[in-house]
Amino acid sequence: MFPFTSSAPASARARAPVRSLALAALGLVGLGGVLAGYRALLNHEFAAAPPGAPPVRWPAESLVPRAPGRPLLLVVAHPMCPCTRATVDQLAVLMARVRFQAAAVVVFVRHASFSEGVEGTELWQSAARIPGVRVVSDPNGVEAKRFGAYGSGQTMLYSAAGDLQFTGGITASRGHSGDNRGQDALVALLSLSATAATAATAGVATKTATPVYGCDLNHPERAP
């Protein structure tokens, strides 16, 4: 019996480990690229806008409509911000949870550069369909500046007396719906105003500020 010998030339056998190492290196480079892309995506999703600076008392000069004798949820948004879809979705959930404990107004910023009104945008129509929510246009962002809002989705709760009780966002990250601290805090605060507080509810209600995950109100194409 003849001993087994490889039919491949010696030079080919020598190149095999080199080729394997090269493929492994390319695989590592590709994996690194995937990980870098995933990290960039996470950084974008959790990049909060600058914190808002709303007045502690409802500004007397504001033209935003209020409901006498009721707390008011005020949401300032950009009609072209894709991240705000989640905010509108969460506002619908929030209003269903608090029912008629508060009125709500969504203020859509309208800059002079808009060729058309904001009333026809999908976000406007979606917000307008939420029971208990009123939607208004804010030419040149006058009200947004008045309420110190920087990021689309900035949400504020003012008491019936006009005192600021909450400021922040009602999504857990950019463009993602679901349970979040802002929504829980608002539900707790509105429950406190309607019924006696339990110890658990009072603990959640102390969270009166949360990050806003939305686009720049002046430049929605820019991440905060």
Q: What is the pLDDT of residue 125?
A: 94
- 3-state DSSP: the chain helix, strand, coil percent, rounded to 5? 40, 15, 45
Label residue 196 by pLDDT band (50, 70, 90).
very low
Q: What is the pTM of this model?
A: 0.73
In the numeric block, the tokens 């080199």 are attached to 18
Average pLDDT, integer, range 88-99 = 93
53 half-sphere exposure, CB direction, 13 A CA radius: 3
What pLDDT is stored for residue 191 in this prediction? 85
User: Is the pLDDT at 165 greater than 90, yes or no?
Assistant: yes
Q: Cβ(71)–Cβ(158) under 8 Å?
A: yes
pLDDT higher than 80, residue 168 = yes
Domains and CATH numbers, the chain: 72-205 (3.40.30.10)
Q: Any bridge partners for residue 109, and if so which? A: 138
Q: How far apart are CA 122 and CA 155, in angstroms?
A: 20
> 108 and 123 in contact (C-beta within 8 Å)?
yes
pLDDT per residue as tens digits for the range 28-85: 665 555 444 334 333 335 467 787 899 999 999 999 999 899 999 999 999 888 889 9
